[in-house]
Amino acid sequence: GQNIDQPTEMTATEGAIVQINCTYQTSGFNGLFWYQQHAGEAPTFLSYNVLDGLEEKGRFSSFLSRSKGYSYLLLKELQMKDSASYLCAGPSGAGSYQLTFGKGTKLSVIP
């Protein structure tokens, strides 16, 4: 099965840049997802990486290194509304439809 690790909490200042890291087991890998979840709400899809490198989507970018089993989510020009949990998720095994989620990183954006 998959084992996903990410920091529990982070704090950053409005307008700044923050990087949220995620590590995972490389066996059976078939892409890595990032989701955003505000308290009491549904997780919402942010990005999907299957190839190495950085993918940019507006203020949010996601990076993947398959050989290192490492990904990060980069949030630029932080806004107060970015305060949320950020979940890293990967397949539970080769060809599996199951996603294994990390515990989530709770990001607090302060003025």
36: amino acid identity, one letter: Q
Q: Which positions from 39 to 58 touch another protein by CB under 8 A, shown as an x/- string?
A: -xxxxxx--x-x--------
DSSP helix/strand/coil, 74: strand
Q: Taking CB under 8 A as the rule, does residue 101 contact another protein? A: yes
Q: Taking CB under 8 A as the rule, does residue 61 contact another protein? A: no
User: For another protein, which stretch binds (CB under 8 A), given 15-23, 57-65, 67-75, 101-109?
Assistant: 101-109
User: For another protein, which stretch binds (CB under 8 A), given 18-26, 52-60, 72-80, 86-94?
Assistant: 86-94
Which residues make up the interface to another protein (CB under 8 A)? 4, 30-31, 33, 35, 40-45, 48, 50, 87, 89, 91-92, 95-104
